[in-house]
Amino acid sequence: MSKRNLSDYQYFKIDVTDGIACIAFNRVKKHNVVTLETFKELNEFLMRVGEDEGIDVVILTGNGEKAFCAGVDIESFEIQNAGQALEWAIQCQSVFSSIERLPKPVIAAVNGFAFGFGVEIAMVCDITLASEKAIFGMLEIKHGLLPAVLLTRGREILDKKTISYLAMTGDHFSAQEAKEYGLINKVVTHISLIDEAYAVARRIQGNSPLGVSMVKRLLNRQGEKHSDDVVSFLPTLFLTNDFGEARRAFAERRSPNFKAN
């Protein structure tokens, strides 16, 4: 692989062994929350994977014992105008598109907290395993936003009632509930999660690469439309007073006082 060394990625811990690339969100002290730079690094790495004939499967997980990815870093939102809002939406959506367009399977191994973006990134991976200790939650509604990917791509995975409940309440839910909803494939013991992910990856490696790629392509053929839909409406929410109030409330550790504007 060319370009930067794998150890030079700031927001990820990466290992490539025997044709399997394991990439872990790596902001452990902040529960692996993501920023614009995180999106850019992940997109860059996935592009490299797509070009590397020595990599067959990707495993996406979280470094540390507590979190897979606890969503977007609210403190990093510095959006002052429509241009910045649009950049956020485009960069965020590009991650989902990169996973869906990658001609190689991506397995999510959810090892802990998965909130907001963390739930949605696990959802769009081709196969998702979760630790029995994993906790999920679509928290966007509590921050004056909405779970855009759940509302678009999620319609192909979950039913309307489930999406409504998760999107409108922002409630936490367990790994077992996530499996019952159809969000993940399998719940495993915490200690066996990564071993299980590698076992699935090795079974996939034994199958036809062209067949695996075609399965993925057919299942994700609506991905670009979903991205366009999200980018068309999400930036507007970043500029609302309610979102600004949610950010202030988060910093001040209090409940937001939403005004619906």
- pLDDT number for residue 113: 97
Of 66, 82, 71, nearest to 39 by C-alpha is 71
Q: Is residue 112 packed enough to be buried (19+ CB in 10 Å), middle (13-18) or exposed (0-12)?
A: buried
- pLDDT number for residue 163: 95
Q: Is the confidence at residue 38, as pLDDT, over 50?
A: yes
Question: At a CB cut-off of 8 Å and minimum separation 6, what does 124 contact?
Answer: 96, 99, 100, 149, 153
What is the rounded average pLDDT of the residues 22-49? 95
- Burial track 159-171 (b if 16+ CB lie within 10 A, e otherwise): eeebbeebbeebe
Average the pLDDT over each of 116-120, 145-149, 199-203, 248-252 and give the range with the smallest value: 248-252
- pLDDT number for residue 54: 95
Q: What is the pLDDT of residues 176-227, one digit of tens each?
A: 999 999 999 999 999 999 999 999 999 999 999 999 999 999 998 876 766 6
What is the rounded average pLDDT of the residues 85-107? 90
- The residue annotated as part of the active site, out of 41, 140, 196, 245, is 140
- The residue annotated as part of the active site, out of 44, 75, 120, 156, is 120
Q: Residue for token digits 């990439």?
A: 23
What is the rounded average pLDDT of the residues 247-261? 82
Whether 132 sits among the annotated catalytic residues: the reply is no
- pTM recorded for the entire structure: 0.92
* 238 — pLDDT class (breaks 50, 70, 90): confident
Whether 120 sits among the annotated catalytic residues: the reply is yes
| 56 φ/ψ angles, rounded to the nearest 5 degrees | -105, -35
Q: Mean pLDDT, the chain, as a whole number?
A: 91
List residues bridging with 130 in a β-sheet: 110, 187
* 1 — pLDDT class (breaks 50, 70, 90): very low
Question: At a CB cut-off of 8 Å and minimum separation 6, what does 102 contact?
Answer: 46, 49, 50, 58, 216
- pLDDT number for residue 223: 61
Q: Which two structure tokens, joined as six digits, stand for 124?
A: 């769009």
| 176 φ/ψ angles, rounded to the nearest 5 degrees | -65, -40
Q: Is the confidence at residue 21, as pLDDT, over 50?
A: yes
Select from 3.40.50.11610, 3.90.226.10, 3.40.50.460, 3.40.1350.10 the CATH code of 6-192+205-215. 3.90.226.10
Label the pairing between strands 12-17 and 20-25: antiparallel
Proportion of the chain above pLDDT 90, given as a percent: 66
- pLDDT number for residue 67: 98
* 3 — pLDDT class (breaks 50, 70, 90): low
Residue 225's CB is within 10 A of a number of other CB atoms, namely 11
